[in-house]
Amino acid sequence: MSIVDLTVHELVEKLEKKELTITEINKAYAERIKEKEPEVGAFISDLSEDALEEAKKIEEKVSNGEIKNENHLAGIPIAIKDNMCVKGTRTTCASKMLENFVAPYDATVIEKLKAENLTFLGKVNMDEFAMGASTEYSALQKTKNPWNLNCVPGGSSGGSAAVVASKMAPWALGSDTGGSIRQPASFCGIVGLKPTYGLVSRYGLVAFASSLDQIGPMTRDVRDNAMLLNLIVGHDEHDSTSIKTEKKDYTKALVNDVKGLKIGLPKEYFGEGINEEVKASIDKVIEKYKELGAEVEECSLDIAEYALATYYIIACAEASSNLGRFDGIRYGYRTKNFKTLKDIYRNSRTEGFGDEVKRRIILGTYVLSSGYYDAYYKKAQQVRTLVRQEFNKAFEKYDLILTPTSPTTAFEIGTKSNNPLEMYLADICTVSINIAGVPAISVPCGTSSKGLPIGFQLIGKHFDEETIYRAAYTYEQNTDFKGLEG
Amino acid sequence: MAREDYEVVIGLEVHAELSTKSKIFCSCSTEFGGDPNTHCCPICMAMPGTLPVLNEKVVEYAVKAGLATNCEISRNSKNDRKNYFYPDLPKAYQISQYDMPLCENGYVEIETENGPKKIRLLRIHIEEDAGKLNHDPYRGGSLVDLNRAGVPLIETVSMPDISSSAEAEAYLRKLKSIFEYIEVSDCKMQEGSLRADVNVSIRKKGETKLGTRTEMKNMNSFKSIVRAIEYEINRQVEVLDNGGVVSQESLRWDDALGKTFSMRDKEDAQDYRYFPDPDLVAIRLSDEYIEEIRRNLPELPESRRKRYIEEFKLPEYDAKMITASKYLSNMFEKAVEICNNPKSVSNWIMSDIARILNEKELEPSEIPFTAEELGELVVLIDKGTISSAIAKKVLDELFVNPKSPQKIVEEKGWVQISDEGAIKEVVLKVLENNQQSVADYKAGKDKALGFLVGQAMKETKGKANPQMLNKMFLDELKK
């Protein structure tokens, strides 16, 4: 077994026992990236050489006591989705618009990781401005699914999922607006959590849809996931929507026991459009939970069918406003072709944004326009309230809700990128969770006949990540899903 | 038809920069001036990924303004985004308030030639200021300065209750004075911290429907507001009289040419696409919070005016003028504490100080000397150390080179001559040299006395005690 095969908690254990050094770990990853990156194409900025230099310094500081290292995480490397600002590095959002934008400050999550002295392996690919479900909408490069290089890694956090699955990073941060952590986690056979809205600060995350975006951990297993969540949560005075909660240790929730846990299966998420192999795999998960003593029963979330439409109205409306700042004036791409101010705006945005981004800006601008606001945006907000209420009602009865993460396994590159509607349907199982603001995880539960991973989704109550972790951990401990080998 | 056949309807939207130390959504300084782009940070420069956090002081100041203008304060309010592109607006949206402003349904009272009049306020809301575009003198084009971006503003929207340029001026002066009193804005118009959009329409007398209005944007002096309104009324009358229609549009007032110009650009038919800002949480205010602010509200000009009339026996007009400016009013009170002669302090402020401010085009806050120095000046007069003629010279000196009036008088040798012998000497000399005037006086021309006193003053360079001089001339002339 090589260093890159280890989970973070295994690395930490070996560091504690001095069976491994910080430098060895970072060196192993720098080498792994050299080997694998040419075929996967996940890194927009490969910083692994810098990380190795940093690791040497950290190792020295740990040994001379300058770094206390209470959590034994100093020198553990991580990859970051390229929509989070890391001071002094490019933050591109995989857009031509920000191709050469160097962030002048650290996102709050990055500050927190720096406080633990993690090293940064690089900034990884995504759909442009996190808009997409396959990472094909990256304007900068193509990322492939490490399980099958003809397939997409999912999206928008496709780069984060691909580096964790291909062992080019032990773990990564992604962001999730409508499924962007969970769906690629499912496509790449890893664990991805979208925390409750407000649990993790969004400061420094380039906004797509402010009321839906959340940063979350993408890891090889559930324990690593809880450990990474521990590092990034907490109220931030720079983010008014981040919530004051008491400090928790999520690894304490990792108990191998689901006896008596009530799990609901909303029938709307198991109907038409769900791939048979996915369905069969989820059925096995259900059987496993029953076997382990959970009470599992069918339920209904019938507002769900409106969630996708609601999501695209709200997300696009917010995006149309959030992306206004990319105007070619202060930073980012500026057209060379202008005579007037309007030319700068028009041509910079026409040349700097990709088609999917433009599509959503146009859609969002439309739903906020006077005369249409009430019919679309306002109505969508009303439906949003109903979705939230329906989830709350379901949670009066159930501790968790279980669904597939995605109706399909990873699809082949190029098969959906020209059909926006079909691409939007890839989010069908995940968007309602962001609309409701509740937390959800995707856990791998098998592979298809073509050898592609399948994931299931566990949805919890607001701020009850613990129950999600408990059930996910129990499942993981009692099954034997194997990550990508080699 | 003549202008008198039309009724004028005016409404004002007044923007006042709040005098909080830091900006509305970040901790940058709000200080005016400073090298371009030195009072900004990733947040007010709208760097990708940054988020706004509402400065609570801004809410407090806006509530103060609302309470001081008799508004209802909303317990439940929010921030909205107003989307439009302009280089001085770094986020491409301004965070403002759309349908749930902090303050609603207030009024202020102004004095008009027909007596007091209430101007109703529709609302006061909070929002952020934009940056500034500066012309690049070297390469042409514009440069963006974001020091002002994110400076907090309150926008006060009046109902169309104003019927003349004089009322518009009185309303704006009143608002300015209230905001200065409660210390929410320094209202320095020349620095742009108080500016108004002026809406003007006219309709035939007796008509109940409002006419089409035009809006003059970003006016920042009383003089130009009055001139612009007058110009715009006449222009609209002319348009209607010639059978035309006034078109609803934004106008730019050119102060040098004394004309308004259309700013119309069809592509600018703006749809701001307001929607609630998802980065900010709702503003919820408790009754206790509002009551606390109400309790701590400073004395307003209305109440000071009444107090000056009752306590200091000032004439209504003087009391109104002095209390119109908090700075003057504070100066008045401090000076009175020192000299205990309110009437005299008021006279100095109302006449000579007002005249000099006018000549030098200064705001009261730019008076270079202190209230203590003004008080001391009055004490010197009251003690007979200097005459009021000398006092005027001391005042001129205070504007140029402010220091203790006692010192000025000593250094310049301006102490009043009250020595009987010395005065008698001068009187005799003047009588000697002006035989004709003496004859005139004796022939019943009382005016001649004034001339003689004047001559004696000239002789003493204004230092002679005028009462003594008068008395001594009369005594001598009776002989």
A101-130: b (≥16 Cβ within 10 Å) or e: bebebbbbbbbbbeebbbbbbbbbbbbbbb
Distance from CA of B41 to the nearest CA of A (A): 10
Are A351 and A328 in contact, with CB atoms under 8 Å apart? no
Nearest to A203 among B46, B51, B87 (CB): B51
Structure tokens at A256: 């191998």
Contact A98 B48 (CB under 8 A): yes
Interface probe, candidates B56, B265, B279, chain A, greatest A C-beta count within 10 A = B279
Q: Is B83 on the interface with A (CB under 8 A)?
A: yes
Taking 90 as the threshold, does the pLDDT of residue A23 lie above it?
Answer: yes
| Model confidence pLDDT, tens digit, residues A462-483 | 999 999 999 999 999 999 999 9
Catalytic residue among A48, A134, A157, A180, which? Answer: A180
> Mean pLDDT across the stretch A50-74?
95
Contact B46 A330 (CB under 8 A): yes
Nearest-angstrom CA–CA distance, B62 and B123 = 11
| Model confidence pLDDT, tens digit, residues B210-265 | 999 999 998 989 999 999 999 999 999 999 999 999 998 889 999 899 999 888 65
Structure tokens at A428: 């069908």
Contact B279 A210 (CB under 8 A): yes
Nearest-angstrom CA–CA distance, B219 and B94 = 20
Nearest-angstrom CA–CA distance, B170 and B111 = 7
**What are the Cα distances from residue A226, in Å, to A4, A14, A219, A473?**
20, 19, 9, 10
A161-189: b (≥16 Cβ within 10 Å) or e: bbbbbbbbbbbbbbbbbbbbbbbbbbbbb
Half-sphere exposure of B442 (CA within 13 A, CB side): 12
Compute φ and ψ for A77, nearest 5 degrees. -80, 160
| Model confidence pLDDT, tens digit, residues A138-177 | 999 999 999 999 999 999 999 999 999 999 999 999 999 9
Contact residues on chain A for B91, CB-CB shorter than 8 A: 324-325
Window B:257-316, CB contacts with A under 8 Å: 267, 271, 273-275, 278-281
Nearest-angstrom CA–CA distance, B156 and B62 = 10
Higher-pLDDT residue of B442, A47 = A47
Distance from CA of A61 to the nearest CA of B (A): 31
Q: What three-state secondary structure class fits B132?
A: strand
Contact residues on chain B for A204, CB-CB shorter than 8 A: 49-50
Are A94 and A105 in contact, with CB atoms under 8 Å apart? no
Interface probe, candidates B51, B54, B56, B94, chain A, greatest A C-beta count within 10 A = B51
Q: Which residue of A has its CA nearest to B27?
A: A238
Contact A325 B90 (CB under 8 A): yes
Could you tell me which residues of chain A have a Cβ less than 8 Å from any Cβ in chain B?
A: 83-85, 91, 93, 98, 101, 103-105, 107, 202-207, 209-211, 237-241, 317-318, 320-321, 324-327, 329-331, 341-342, 345, 365, 368-370, 373, 377
Q: Where are the domains of chain A?
A: 1-486
* C-alpha of B305 from chain center: 16
Contact residues on chain B for A240, CB-CB shorter than 8 A: 51-54, 279-281
Distance from CA of A183 to the nearest CA of B (A): 23
| Model confidence pLDDT, tens digit, residues B164-197 | 999 999 999 999 999 999 999 999 888 889 999 9
Predicted model pTM = 0.89
Are A463 and A245 in contact, with CB atoms under 8 Å apart? yes
Radius of gyration of chain B (CA): 29
Catalytic residue among A45, A48, A81, A166, which? Answer: A81
Catalytic residue among A48, A95, A138, A156, which? Answer: A156
pLDDT at A422 (0 to 100): 78
- Residue B65: closest CA among B39, B103, B94, B101: B103
AA identity, residue B75: R
pLDDT at B264 (0 to 100): 65
Are A210 and A318 in contact, with CB atoms under 8 Å apart? yes
> Mean pLDDT across the stretch A313-319?
98
Are A230 and A249 in contact, with CB atoms under 8 Å apart? yes
ipTM over 0.90: yes
Nearest-angstrom CA–CA distance, A332 and A340 = 18
- Residue A62: closest CA among A25, A27, A26, A23: A23
- Residue A320: closest CA among A387, A385, A371, A373: A373
Nearest-angstrom CA–CA distance, B190 and B362 = 11
Nearest-angstrom CA–CA distance, A24 and A119 = 13
Q: What three-state secondary structure class fits B1?
A: coil
Nearest-angstrom CA–CA distance, B155 and B291 = 22
Interface probe, candidates A82, A102, A314, A322, chain B, greatest B C-beta count within 10 A = A322
Contact A202 B51 (CB under 8 A): yes
Q: What three-state secondary structure class fits B136?
A: coil
Contact B49 A324 (CB under 8 A): no
Contact residues on chain A for B273, CB-CB shorter than 8 A: 320-321, 365, 368-370, 373
- Tell me which fold the domain A1-486 belongs to: Amidase signature (AS) enzymes (3.90.1300)
Mean pLDDT (chain A, rounded): 96
Please, what sign has the CA dihedral across residues A70, A72, A73, A74?
Answer: positive
Q: Which residue of B has its CA nearest to A206?
A: B49
The set of residues, in sequence order, having a beta carbon less than 8 Å from that of A176 and lying 6+ positions away, is A157, A182, A192, A194, A213, A214, A215, A216, A430, A434
Contact B81 A329 (CB under 8 A): no
> Mean pLDDT across the stretch A167-189?
98
Do the bridges between strand A262-266 and strand A43-46 make them parallel or antiparallel, or are there none, so unpaired? unpaired
Distance from CA of B342 to the nearest CA of A (A): 52
Are A159 and A451 in contact, with CB atoms under 8 Å apart? no
DSSP B242-264: TT--PPPEEEEEETTTTEEEE--
Nearest-angstrom CA–CA distance, B98 and A464 = 35
Helix (H) or strand (E) holding B168: helix B165-181
| Model confidence pLDDT, tens digit, residues A96-144 | 999 999 999 999 999 999 999 999 999 999 999 999 999 999 999 999 9
Find the Cα–Cα–Cα–Cα dihedral B305, B311, B312, B315, rounded to 10°.
50
Residues of chain B with pLDDT under 70: 264-269
Are B104 and B123 in contact, with CB atoms under 8 Å apart? yes
Q: Where are the domains of chain B?
A: 3-290, 301-412, 420-478
A218-222, A400-404, B167-171, B434-438: segment of lowest average pLDDT = B434-438
pLDDT at B416 (0 to 100): 78
Structure tokens at B297: 């509200």
**What are the Cα distances from residue B113, in Å, to A303, B166, B167?**
65, 9, 9
Output the CATH code of domain B420-478: 1.10.10.410
Distance from CA of B362 to the nearest CA of A (A): 38
Contact residues on chain A for B275, CB-CB shorter than 8 A: 317, 321, 368, 373, 377
Q: What angle do CA B265, B267, B270 make, to 5 degrees?
A: 95
Nearest-angstrom CA–CA distance, B186 and B178 = 11
Structure tokens at A252: 């304490």
Distance from CA of A415 to the nearest CA of B (A): 32
pLDDT at B269 (0 to 100): 64
Radius of gyration of chain A (CA): 21
Find the Cα–Cα–Cα–Cα dihedral A35, A41, A42, A47, rounded to 10°.
60
Let me know if A180 is a catalytic residue.
Answer: yes
Structure tokens at A237: 């005075």
Q: Which residue of A has its CA nearest to B95?
A: A321
pLDDT at B268 (0 to 100): 55
Cis peptide leading into B388, omega within 30 of 0?
no
Contact residues on chain A for B46, CB-CB shorter than 8 A: 325, 330
Are A377 and A367 in contact, with CB atoms under 8 Å apart? yes
pLDDT at B265 (0 to 100): 57
pLDDT at B266 (0 to 100): 47
| Model confidence pLDDT, tens digit, residues A192-211 | 999 999 999 999 999 999 99
